[in-house]
Each structure stands twice: as structure tokens, then as C-alpha cells.
Structure 1
Amino acid sequence: MTIMSRSPFTDEIEQAKPPRKFSMPHFTYFKGDRDPDRHLKHYRNTMVLYQKKDALMCKIFNTTLQGEAQDWFHTLPPRSIRSFDDLSLVFTKEYSSYCSIKTKSDHLFNVKKNPKESLRDYVKRFKAEKANIVGCNESLTSAAFQKGLQANHPLFREMIMKEDLTLADSFALAEKHALWDEAR
């Protein structure tokens, strides 16, 4: 009597052997409580030398799961995963509620300097918001930084007098103004 495999992997994946000198890399474990895209990116970056070995990518991925995520993996139907792309798709779909919302550069136009906020704190908060945006457009970011200042702020007035200010130039000017403010 043959016992049917409970593995979610096809027989081809299940029977694949790791390369002879394969050494298990160190992974950050996924417990089901954060962005699955980030976990997949970390996994692919760590397994970059083995990305052409689809079966290995599948089998090792399971070892990066813990807790509820490991439990979820064992609920996948037997023989339902034929490739790492299949596994990535069901994984991302299952944990999509934890995906980070991608913010665009124009979001920075919502960041305004509060009247009672120091210039240094505004710059710090603006930079933190900018850091959350992948592929941030520099000229748009520079315009948003300036727009976040009140029109009567000395930095705003200085910035509108200069042409082709880079973002780095804008931050350098802000630093200079912050030092002036602190010296008063």
C-alpha cells in the first residue's frame, strides 16, 4: 500500500536533492505578521546563487517560516506547488494584508512644517517620510520640501530666490537656517 504524500510540492520538487556542497544560508524567519514581499525579497537575495534551482528554492523556503506561517504552509493542498513562482504567489496572496502600502513622491506635498515645530524637526520628519518612498523623484521632493514651509519663513524666501536647487542644497540651506534659529 502506497502512502500518498501530504507535501504541497509535486513529486519532482519533493525528490530533488540539494547541490553537493550546499550550505544552508541564514534567513530571517517569517511568522505571518509582516510584509510578505519583503520576506520574498530577502529570501531571493540570500538564495541568489540558487535561483535557477527551482526545487531547491521551494524546499528551502519552507524552512524560513515559523509559527502561524509554518502552520499555513502545511494546509496547502498536496502536490499543488509546481514551482517557486507558484509558491510565491500563494504566499503573497495569503499574507497580502501585511503588504506595505507603496507611497509615491507626491505624498511629500502633505508634509508641512508646523508653526511651533523647529526647522530641524521639520527636516528630520520630512527626511523620514522621504525614506519610505522607493525611487523618490528629487526635483519633486525638493519642491515638496519648499512647499511645506510657510511663505513668510526666511528659508522659503531664500529658496525661491535660487534657481535649480538640488535637494541636498535645500537641506544644506535648512541646516544653515536651523543653526541661525538656535543661535538666537
Structure 2
Amino acid sequence: MLVGNKKGSRGMALLYKSRDFKKGTKTQHPLHSGARSGMWECPDFFLVSLKGKEVLDTSGKGSHVKYILKMSLDLTRFDYYIAGKYNEEKDQYVPDNTNSPNNSTGLRYDYGHFYASKTFFDAGKNRRILWGWTNESYYKEQDNARGWALRSSGSLILVSRDQLGTYPKEHIQQYRNSLGLYSNLNHIYSRLFATSLLEEPLRWFHSLPKESIYIFDQLQKQFIKTYVHNRDKEENLYSLFGLKKLHGEKLEDFSKKFLGLARKVDNIHQKIVVTAFTNALQLDCKAKEYLFLNKPTTLEEMIIKVNGYIDLESMMSERQKSSFY
């Protein structure tokens, strides 16, 4: 766990270790620090891969892995980050170069009103989500004239190796959800949409011809059309029913692969998932016969029965080994 701190004017990220997530022990040295950088807030530490679009959780290792250290500087109220390597045995973080985020020359996630961000790994869609805060940029007098103001809001984005981007349809939905309290104010949606974008998508937004967008639905359609290529290939029922268990493939491995695919199919009925899974098993597969005799009616029930069958097979295999010896 990282905790932001400072000693004098030197900002730092303190590293704590824990075996039970209840009690922590501070390591001998900070993970990283910066002279004259002031208080470091909301430090974040995660992995990115140099291999294509691969996204990593905290267990990733190898020469293709880079460690991103991000901190929010209280002096500037901006988020900065650096890439480097991490030595687990020595609890030592070494940046790739001397471009340390000690001042306004450091790398930033965003060059607008964006601060105190944190990330988490979304295992379901194999992506890393960055959540940050943005503040209202109008003067107080303008807030009073409009009768509303937005002081803080979240921004959901996808962190990839070479840039920050989004899946367009999901980005729109997440953006609408974050502004749900302004559900009927179309002009607010349009004006604040830029605060949810970064880098190239933000440049696209500012390149739109003047007076070309009148309602948010127009902006939404334009955004999806422009960035639809960012979306991973959508899975459908044909993909699900086309997946078959290979001869010699472990049932446990296949079930994980099948359920991972099933989660990507939108609006699918649970009974269809159960049928597709049963059909995917070979005729001579004993698990297929087991599911026919103990027919599950829901996806949850099927998962329980499949896991139970896997445990049963494993137990029988262990018994056979022990009796052999």
C-alpha cells in the first residue's frame, strides 16, 4: 500500500506491507520521493505492458512490464506520473530517466482540471480504469447566473500502453451516469463532455466545426462513429455456440474460457448460456452426462454444479493415485 507524505519540502510515497490487510509495516525507505515537490497526495502504482494491448494486474512480471508511479502534487494541484522498474526484493523503484515529477515539467495524465486520480484493474473486461476529479472552471458570477455549478465529477477512462483512450459506447454511458442528476439538461451534457476526454479525443472535440453540434445526441453519434475502432470485437451467440471443448482440454480451463466469452455477449438469457455450455462438451464427456442428469436452470446453478463435478473428479483422481501407491 502506498501513502503520500512529505518531509520538509520533499514529497514522497511511503510503502507499507501487510500479510492480513489489517496491520501494515512501513518499509525502510520511501518507494520514491522528489525534492521541493511538496505533499504527495493519492499516490498510485500499477503495471503496463509493452506488448500490444495487453493489460496487466498486479501479478504481471517480465522484461515487457513497466511500473507507473503517479502522484498528485498539492503545490500544483495536478497529477504527474513516471515509468520505471521495480525491484520487489529491495522494494526499490527506479525511474527510466531523470524526468521526475517534481515540478510542472513532469508528465501528466491530463492537462486540464484533473486531480487526485486512482486506478483499478477491471478483470471482467481486461482493462485498467482511471477515476479522477475535475472541478468547475467558470467564475462564481457565471455559476450564479446559470443557477447551477459542478464542483467535482468523475472521469472513467481506459489506460493503454501508448495513450489514454476509451471504448466509445461505454464512455458515453459512463459519462451519462456520472451526470445523472442533470438528466434533462442537454446543454450541460454537451458543455461538460470535454472534461471526460483526454489527449487525441480531446483534440478531436476541439476540432469540431463551430455551431456543428446543437444537441448532445449529435455529439454522441459523432464520438461513437469516430472511435468505434477502439472497441474490441463484439461477441455474439454465434461465437458462444461455436466454442467447443477440445479433446484433452481440462474442464476447469474450458469452463473459465467459456464463461469469459459469455460475459462479453450482451443481453443473453441464462438458459441459453447453460444450453451452449452443455452443447460445447463432447458426447463422451462424463460432465455432459452429469449436467443432463442434474440439469441446471440458471447460470449460477450451472457454475456450482460444474465446480462440484471438477472437485469430484479431482478427489477421485487423488484416491486412485493413493490406492496405486
- TM > 0.5: yes
CA distance in 2 between counterparts of 1:80 and 1:48 reads: 25
User: Is there any run of 5+ residues in structure 2 with no aligned partner, and where?
Assistant: 1-141, 318-325
More displaced stretch, 106-115 vs 81-90: 106-115
Partner of 1:169, secondary structure, is helix
CA distance in 2 between counterparts of 1:18 and 1:102 reads: 41
Hey, what does 1:128 align to over in structure 2?
A: 260
Pick aligned residue for 1:93 from 201, 225, 235: 225
AA matched with 1:49: L
1 or 2 for the larger relative contact order (CA 8 Å, sep ≥6)? 1
Matched, 1:20 2:148: yes
CA distance in 2 between counterparts of 1:50 and 1:165 reads: 41
Q: How many residues end up aligned between the 2 structures?
A: 170
Matched, 1:178 2:306: no
Contact 1:105 1:141 in 2 (8 A): no
Identity, % of aligned positions: 24
Change over 3 Å in CA distance of 1:73–1:166 after alignment to 2 = closer
More displaced stretch, 101-110 vs 64-73: 101-110
Hey, what does 1:54 align to over in structure 2?
A: 186
User: Is there any run of 5+ residues in structure 1 with no aligned partner, and where?
Assistant: 1-14
Hey, what does 1:66 align to over in structure 2?
A: 198
Deviations 1:72-106 (A, max 9, x none): 11211111111111211211121122234443334
Give the drift of 1:182. 1.6
Partner of 1:28, secondary structure, is strand
CA distance in 1 between counterparts of 2:251 and 2:302 reads: 12
CA distance in 1 between counterparts of 2:206 and 2:198 reads: 11
The RMSD of aligned alpha carbons is 2.4
Hey, what does 2:40 align to over in structure 1?
A: none
CA distance in 2 between counterparts of 1:165 and 1:25 reads: 42
Question: TM-score, normalized by length of structure 1?
Answer: 0.80
Contact 2:274 2:296 in 1 (8 A): no
Pick aligned residue for 1:154 from 273, 276, 286: 286
Matched, 1:118 2:246: no
Report which of the two has the higher share of helix: 1
Hey, what does 2:167 align to over in structure 1?
A: 35
Change over 3 Å in CA distance of 1:52–1:122 after alignment to 2 = same
